[in-house]
Structure 1
Amino acid sequence: MSNQKVVIITGAAGGIGKATALKFAEDGYAVTLCDLDADTLQALTDVIDKKYGTRCLNIPGDLSDELYLQSIIPKTIEKWGRIDVLVNNAAWRTLESMRTMEMEIWEKTLKICLTAPAFLTKWAAAAMEEKRTGGVIVNVTSMMSERPSGTGSAYIAAKGALESFIKECAVTYGRSAIRVVGIAPGYIDTELSNDYVDPEGRNISNQLISEITDAIPLGRGGKPEEVADAILWLSSESAAYITGTTLVIDGGFKPNFSKYSIKKLQFPEEF
């Protein structure tokens, strides 16, 4: 078994996943990259291999496909001989309220956002226990699980359940030196944050983003690289006593009561 550490990252082709893959590769990890977008995933693999040497295992596929899901851990062990970190980052959702939610959409969302992370956690932890290496499992949830918008019922349900699952697994696997933690991003500038449309199909993402950033104390959205930095840190020895909890990365949005345009009406000299 090699001494080089190994990370598995789902949803690795873009956004937070891509930034995380680049951070771990830069830090010396061998990386297993999983995503539905095979072409973009291969392009990222080529970039990492060219810059850091051949250290990528590319496994494209659909996390809602049980056979594909079951293949990720064995293929990683076969290639690298170990697993040190699992980053459950992949997500899928539609923008709609519970009024229009179809059961097929509900079930697909939960498969990708909850069932896939749960069973990848189970199988990755089993491999870590067998190899007696310990490890870290990072689940990317969402700040929206506690501040929902009313337009993502299945996604919010999955992320809220994932928050509880993190606590449960931290207790389950802690004595095997496996830490289970969460990252809860707020508004991060990714493709998933720029697909908002009105009933006529016109993209209104910029308008909505402006409204959101008006309520963010730091006055801007986050960058995927900033989330990736936090994931890498939580996976390191510097965070060795952190488990069973979730780090919110939202620029201060969650605890803020009102938008800054409202604050200025009340206290124009202060805000």
Structure 2
Amino acid sequence: MLSRIAPSAAARLLQSAASTGRRAFSTQLSGAELLAKFEQTVADQASAILSMDNDKKLRFYSLFKQAKEGDVATDRPGMFDLAGRYKWDAWNSLKGTSREEAMRLYISELTAVAPAAAAATSDSGVSAVAQASFQPKLTALLPADSYRGKVVFITGGGTGLGKGMATRYSELGATVFIVSRTQEVLQATAEEISAQTGNPVYFASCDVRDPESVSKALDACEQAAGLPDVIVNNAAGNFISPFERLSPNGWKSITDIVLNGTAYVTLEAGKRLLKAGRSANVLCISTTYADLGSGFVAPSAAAKAGVNALIRSLASEWGRYGFRFVGIAPGPIETKGAFSRLDPTGKFRKLMIDRLPTGRFGEVPELSNFATYLTSDYASWITGQVFNFDGGETAFMSGEFNELVQVTEAEWDYMAKMIRNTKGST
């Protein structure tokens, strides 16, 4: 039988760091007061524990279990349940500690280390070095006036990513024309951006699901600013739902906006440009799960896959006319509209960050910089491509063993010993 692992160095450091406070604290509370303080600490510091390394998490797990249940009363998990064995060993190391003393230890040790843990790590637990390496640059990437004299037409331009891209294009000198369904939102956004950049921002209400509405919006764009040099198909719709709960209208509401809307705008604008002997650069906002699909967002996955196919098809077909087609597939970027529909409770925020090697969500200005580069003259040899812009999420989720980043050095040492002792290993 494998011997039980001794308490880690981190656990011993925790005990030492809190020892002075514990001696003073242990005589102050007991009974109902101690239980109330313990439960309040558990609630208040849950997020702090999530940001700690695995050794510290084990320490507070074991103290919590000892405080709630007393001595461990189950058999040690089998050798293939490494996580279970570590938890069992940590809990069993407190055998004989009273439940009240475990509560005191939990409170005093956690109070001592929680602020430092929060300062040392991000939500994902990445190191301070990684945090510094992955800090976003939010200022404009391209030289000032890179879009002077250009007209940029953006669907879904009133909020979220669309508003962010509209702002960056305007900062770079473009005349921006934004469309969406809500006139009041568009007007407020146009006024805000124009006041900030000093450049004109025009708008028109438009339902991209309706070809006639799209035609009227492009009429307004031509009248106010001229034909577009850049078209950004950003309008989208999405919500989470098991497929069997969808109605035909639920399916249609997403595919009409995402796929049909992109096609209608591209087709109407393209015909006008071709008739005028002009071309444009077309950017479509896609999604990282378009090519492989994803459960619970099937309408969006199917529609975005169609958008990706349209990008590649028209890059091949309309390249002869001077058109370029590119796409950006964003990973998690925290905007109110998207997150309110895809994570309404906030339950999955930590899970999403944990699968980002960069340890943070993307920022709207970062995506805006990428967008303005891809549709600029600096990217004239790029077409027919959809780029993941996701903080490494797709790469991380593609690797079967990538979750092993959570394994500590002590755990690697332990597993290496197990592997070397396996019969038949070399």
Q: Flag whether TM exceeds 0.5 (same fold).
A: yes
| CA deviation after TM superposition for structure 1 residue 31, in Å | 0.9
Q: Does 1:30 align with 2:171?
A: no
- The whole-number CA distance in structure 2 between the counterparts of 1:13 and 1:155 is 21
2:390 maps to which of 246, 250, 266: 250
| CA deviation after TM superposition for structure 1 residue 191, in Å | 1.7
| CA deviation after TM superposition for structure 1 residue 268, in Å | 6.0
Q: Provide closer, same or farther for how the CA distance between residues 213 and 77 of structure 1 changes in structure 2, counting only shifts above 3 A.
A: same
- The whole-number CA distance in structure 2 between the counterparts of 1:49 and 1:168 is 36
Does the 8 A contact of 2:290 with 2:302 survive in 1? Answer: yes
- The whole-number CA distance in structure 2 between the counterparts of 1:10 and 1:129 is 20
- The whole-number CA distance in structure 2 between the counterparts of 1:118 and 1:11 is 15
Q: Does 1:145 align with 2:290?
A: yes
Q: Provide closer, same or farther for how the CA distance between residues 4 and 106 of structure 1 changes in structure 2, counting only shifts above 3 A.
A: same
Does the 8 A contact of 2:232 with 2:283 survive in 1? Answer: yes
Residue in structure 2 matched with residue 219 of structure 1 by the alignment: 359
Task: Extract unaligned runs of 5+ from structure 2.
Answer: 1-147, 413-426
Does the 8 A contact of 2:238 with 2:341 survive in 1? Answer: no
Does the 8 A contact of 1:218 with 1:251 survive in 2? Answer: yes
Q: Provide closer, same or farther for how the CA distance between residues 74 and 101 of structure 1 changes in structure 2, counting only shifts above 3 A.
A: same
Q: Provide closer, same or farther for how the CA distance between residues 107 and 267 of structure 1 changes in structure 2, counting only shifts above 3 A.
A: farther
What is the identity, as a one-letter code, of the residue corresponding to 1:264? Q
Does the 8 A contact of 2:211 with 2:264 survive in 1? Answer: no
Q: Provide closer, same or farther for how the CA distance between residues 51 and 259 of structure 1 changes in structure 2, counting only shifts above 3 A.
A: farther
- The whole-number CA distance in structure 2 between the counterparts of 1:113 and 1:214 is 28
Q: Does 1:47 align with 2:192?
A: yes
% identical aligned pairs = 26
1:204 maps to which of 345, 360, 363: 345
Does the 8 A contact of 2:208 with 2:262 survive in 1? Answer: no
CA RMSD of aligned residues (A): 2.2
Q: Provide closer, same or farther for how the CA distance between residues 133 and 267 of structure 1 changes in structure 2, counting only shifts above 3 A.
A: farther
Deviation string, structure 1 residues 138-177 (Cα, Å, up to 9, x no partner): 0100012135441111111101111111000111110111
Deviation string, structure 1 residues 197-224 (Cα, Å, up to 9, x no partner): 89xxxx422x312101101110111111
Structure of greater relative contact order (alpha carbons < 8 Å, 6+ residues apart): 1
Greater share of residues in helix: 2
Residue in structure 2 matched with residue 238 of structure 1 by the alignment: 378
What is the identity, as a one-letter code, of the residue corresponding to 2:388? V
- The whole-number CA distance in structure 2 between the counterparts of 1:269 and 1:175 is 58
5 Å-filtered alignment, 1:124-139, equals: 124-139=269-284
Other structure's SS at 2:169 match: helix
Does the 8 A contact of 1:82 with 1:131 survive in 2? Answer: no
Other structure's SS at 1:188 match: coil
2:318 maps to which of 132, 151, 173: 173
| CA deviation after TM superposition for structure 1 residue 131, in Å | 3.0
Residue in structure 1 matched with residue 38 of structure 2 by the alignment: none
Query: Is the radius of gyration larger for structure 1 or structure 2?
Result: 2
Aligned length: 263
| CA deviation after TM superposition for structure 1 residue 126, in Å | 2.0
| CA deviation after TM superposition for structure 1 residue 72, in Å | 2.0
| CA deviation after TM superposition for structure 1 residue 26, in Å | 0.8
Q: Does 1:164 align with 2:306?
A: no
1:107 maps to which of 247, 252, 259: 252
Other structure's SS at 1:95 match: coil
What is the identity, as a one-letter code, of the residue corresponding to 1:171? S
Q: Provide closer, same or farther for how the CA distance between residues 250 and 147 of structure 1 changes in structure 2, counting only shifts above 3 A.
A: farther
Residue in structure 2 matched with residue 21 of structure 1 by the alignment: 166
Deviation string, structure 1 residues 83-120 (Cα, Å, up to 9, x no partner): 10000001112211211111111112111001011121
Q: Provide closer, same or farther for how the CA distance between residues 74 and 220 of structure 1 changes in structure 2, counting only shifts above 3 A.
A: same
Deviation string, structure 1 residues 230-259 (Cα, Å, up to 9, x no partner): 110001011000000111100011011369
Q: Does 1:264 align with 2:406?
A: yes
What is the identity, as a one-letter code, of the residue corresponding to 1:246? V
Residue in structure 1 matched with residue 10 of structure 2 by the alignment: none
| CA deviation after TM superposition for structure 1 residue 179, in Å | 0.2
Does the 8 A contact of 1:83 with 1:127 survive in 2? Answer: no
Task: Extract unaligned runs of 5+ from structure 1.
Answer: none
Does the 8 A contact of 1:84 with 1:128 survive in 2? Answer: no
Other structure's SS at 2:394 match: coil
Relative to the length of structure 1, the TM-score reads 0.89
- The whole-number CA distance in structure 2 between the counterparts of 1:147 and 1:229 is 26
Does the 8 A contact of 1:64 with 1:116 survive in 2? Answer: yes
